[in-house]
Amino acid sequence: MLANRGNWTMQPSSGSGPDLTDEEKEIINSVIARAEKMEAMEQERIGRLINRLDDMKKTVCGDGVSRCLLCGEQLGSPGVSSVVCEDCKKNMCTKCGTQCSSRPRAVWLCKICREQREVWKRSGAWFFKGFPKHFLPSPMPLSKPSDTGAQEVAEHQGPPASEPREAALQPQAAGQKHLSSQLLTTVFYSHLLQISSHAKKKKRVGG
């Protein structure tokens, strides 16, 4: 088993298949199927955040120079204070911005840039310098296909979910599946270690 912890990419070892029984392979396939289901739910959640951000961008009605970027109020008018967004550097009124505590000084963010930061934080994109892509190996083939096992895997997979536009950066490689949960990765490794240990014990007993 080869694991690249930088982007949580996992590839099956070429020599691990013969030591596993069909029952053990079904356990692994079940873990993969559950991971796929959770990934689909995660993609839907991120997609909703991105759609909300897009809707906010469509409501912009100012030039961000002499008028507030968001509401279009004339900046400098009586009762209209002007501030600059730390991220986009556009001018806005204080009603359309949020003051955030940041070292060494407090900064202002417009509602769009604040939402953008929230999307990157919740999706993990701030850490990966882009929307993360995670992969699982394809399901392990069984020597004697079981109708019950195949049905169980199909039920766990569920219908495929569409990915958000920003997340679909590259086509998936053949035979690879998405994984978005570090917890599931840990569970997957745990199953493999248990199976490997069980296989070694059987060899020692048989020898």
C-alpha 39 chain-centroid distance: 7
Q: Is the pLDDT of residue 69 over 90?
A: yes
Give the per-residue pLDDT at 173: 37
Q: What is the pLDDT of residues 21-60, one digit of tens each?
A: 888 888 888 998 898 898 888 888 888 888 988 998 998 9
The pLDDT of 66-92, averaged and rounded, is: 93
Please name which of 58, 66, 62, 54 lies closest in space to residue 96, comparing C-alpha atoms.
62
pLDDT tens for 179-197 read 344 445 555 555 556 665 5
Angle at 157 between CA 42 and CA 52, to 5 degrees: 25
pLDDT value at residue 4: 45
Q: What is the CATH number of domain 2-11+26-137+156-206?
A: 3.30.40.10
What span, in angstroms and rounded, lies between the C-alpha atoms of 156 and 153? 5
Name which of 129, 91, 131, 134 is nearest 109 in CA terms.
91
Nearest Cα to 15, choosing from 184, 201, 199?
Answer: 199
Domain boundaries, the chain: 2-11+26-137+156-206
What pLDDT does residue 198 have? 58
Q: How far is CA 196 from the centre of its chain?
A: 29
pLDDT digits (tens, 9 = 90+) for 131-162: 555 566 677 787 765 555 455 545 545 555 44
Mean pLDDT of the chain: 71
Per-residue pLDDT tens digits for 114-126: 998 888 887 776 5
- In the chain, the percentage of residues whose pLDDT exceeds 70 is 53
Amino acid letter at 202?
K
pLDDT band at 6 (very low <50, low <70, confident <90, very high): very low
Rounded Cα distance, 162 and 103, in Å: 39
How many alpha carbons lie under 13 Å from residue 4 in its C-beta half-sphere? 10
